[in-house]
Amino acid sequence: MHAGDHNAELAQALLGVSYDQLTPVQRSVIDLIATEQPSGLNPKLTGDDRNDPQCDKGRGLTWTLHGLWPQYDSGYPSDCRSVASDPNRSDSTQMADIMGGAGLAFYEWKKHGRCSGLSAKSYYATMRKAYKTVGIPPIIAKISKDLSVPASVIEDAFSESNPQIARDQMTVTCTQGMIQELRICLTKDLEPRRCGADTIKDCTLKDAGLQAVR
């Protein structure tokens, strides 16, 4: 099979369109999926070493929410004292669909939610609302094998899927050679805003590891 035929099949399978109909950004991702080999990602960065349930095969999790926290121009508050009651187990469990598990939701509440001035229910609701403002590029959400990709391609894909978010309002970060997270900077009203110097940590790797959806 010629490379062009393979790319066309991938475009149809992942997005339901022909390769010729793809945007330049979508084509670049398709080309990477078609040509790159699995990148041998470090399991310690994925939670596999902890038997984290969000890493179980078949979960179908793509880009999940890590957290939402107040941010100063330099640094951020954490582990604050709060008069607000902690969330109950049911409230935390309900966040598992976008955060992978109740444990992370509760951890983020303890570390950052208590500093937000919100109740636990309001903090969780605000996190969910913020998560829904960001569209996950379909072409990334359906990646079926581990890849090595330029980090800039990931930012390009998110930028194209979220034209309301300017490039200086987001940043892709890496850890130990792997794509770690996409950070979006928001106002208190959850509107995109320019990221501060303390937040911008753009990854410039040309071969960053990106894991497949499980």
* Closest alpha carbon to 210 in 21, 29, 16, 24: 29
Q: Which of 76, 66, 67, 89 is nearest to 115 (CA)?
A: 76
Does 182 have pLDDT greater than 90?
no
The pLDDT value given to residue 139: 78
Tokens of 154: 């990931």
What are the C-alpha distances in Å from 33 to residues 5, 42, 103, 128, 192? 13, 19, 32, 30, 30
Question: Per-domain residue ranges for the chain?
Answer: 38-44+136-210, 64-132
Residue pLDDT, tens place only, 78-87: 888 888 999 9
Q: Considering the entire predicted model, what is its pTM?
A: 0.73
pLDDT category at 41 given cuts 50, 70, 90 is very low
CA dihedral 135, 138, 144, 148 (to 10 degrees): -70
pLDDT tens, residue by residue, 141-169: 777 778 788 888 888 888 999 999 998 88
**Measured between alpha carbons, how far is 11 from 142 in angstroms, rounded to an integer?**
11
- Is residue 48 very low, low, confident or very high in pLDDT (cuts 50, 70, 90)? very low
